[in-house]
Amino acid sequence: MKEKILAFDLLRAIAILAILLTHSTAYLGYKYLRYTILIFTPFFAKIGLSLFIFISGYLIHYNNSKISSIKDVLIFYKKRILRIFPLYWAALAVFTFVFYDYFGILSSQFTMSNASTLFSFHNLLIHLLGMQMLLAPTYSTPLFTLHFVGTIIILYLIYPFLMLYSKNTSRFLLISFLVFMVLALISDSFKIIHENFFSFYPIFIAGIVLSRVNVSDRWMYNPYFAIIPTLFFLSILLQDRLFLLLDPRFSIITTSSEAISSSLAITVIKGFAASIGLSYEVVRFAFISISSDVSMILFCVAQLWIANICINDKFSPLISSIISYVSTASYTVYLFHRPVLALWISLADRIHIFPFLQDFVTIILIVPALFIISYYIQNKESLLRKRFFT
């Protein structure tokens, strides 16, 4: 169990570092460093959030596999609310204070044209309840970064009922698919439930399924499992070709000099969408999401396999401690890194620090300090939660 926890700690550490790299482009001053990271940021963002979702699915089932009554459902909700909301509410308050810019403390580069909408009473109330992704886009506008918490909340709302009515893995997969389709129809009809939820739902389900079959215990160390990274890279190539087919600006030239126009693929998808009563945009999004989710699921499984191999070879105590430290701090770092970095960059801008020096201080001082403070905040919050609610 200890080795399994350390493997997931390693995945959390990778996830939060990938997200920090993604968001760093808004807070770096040296343009060549920023441009270099920008090349990879779409991929970093996807793998960071996908790893968090995958880990959540795996560990939620690992720790809450026995849900057989409404009482169990309520106990599950209580635990999740206490785990998620206190720090999330604190982050929401900090976001409002910093980015609504009450005292003009931010640099002009962080000025948002839609701040009055994002921080309106109506929108903040929805965020307080964690319903921003459920009611978007019609009734809410999700705040950047904090939208992830809204996605996790919907997944956790669904999870206990998936378990309550699933006695085996095949039934679980069937019910999960039916839930997905019902929510997709609701989303298309009422213009609610943000599209990001549908992107991450299959990854969450994949984590649960791998936990149900004890994948890391039974065959994670099988050398034939190394085929997963290969499949991941193949899926990336296929996904790239799919994007071309669905982009009306491109056509693919075959070896016989015949052009396969993207209009043909679009026409086929439009016909399919009409036959099942959905809009072209919804079906196109489904095709792209499925290809992306397959890639990310393969990536997450490959990372879990690699993590287990690394842990099996035994990290040094120092490396293990650093991994656990970063993992413990990851949730708090995720919630607060944007306002902290925005305040620092605004200060650096006011005192006219050279871009290279600004980035040096950010990387060497500000980010490590963020992790250290977040670690102690997370530990203190966990102790208070256990003291007053257990």
pLDDT in tens, 271-324: 777 787 777 777 777 777 777 788 888 888 878 877 777 775 567 788 888 999
pLDDT class of 257 with cuts at 50, 70, 90:
very low
Helices then strands, each counted (H, E), the chain: 16, 2
Degrees, nearest 5: CA angle 303-366-379: 65
d(CA 385, CA 84): 11
**Consecutive H or E run containing 376:** helix 367-389
Which pLDDT value is given to residue 285? 73
Specify the pTM: 0.86
**Consecutive H or E run containing 251:** strand 251-253
Tokens 């403390």 belong to which residue?
105
pLDDT class of 1 with cuts at 50, 70, 90:
very low
**Consecutive H or E run containing 88:** helix 70-99
d(CA 85, CA 83): 6
| Cβ neighbours around 229 below 10 Å, total | 16
d(CA 28, CA 362): 8
**Helices (DSSP H) in 191-226: which residue ranges?**
195-212, 215-218
Which pLDDT value is given to residue 174? 95
pLDDT class of 263 with cuts at 50, 70, 90:
low
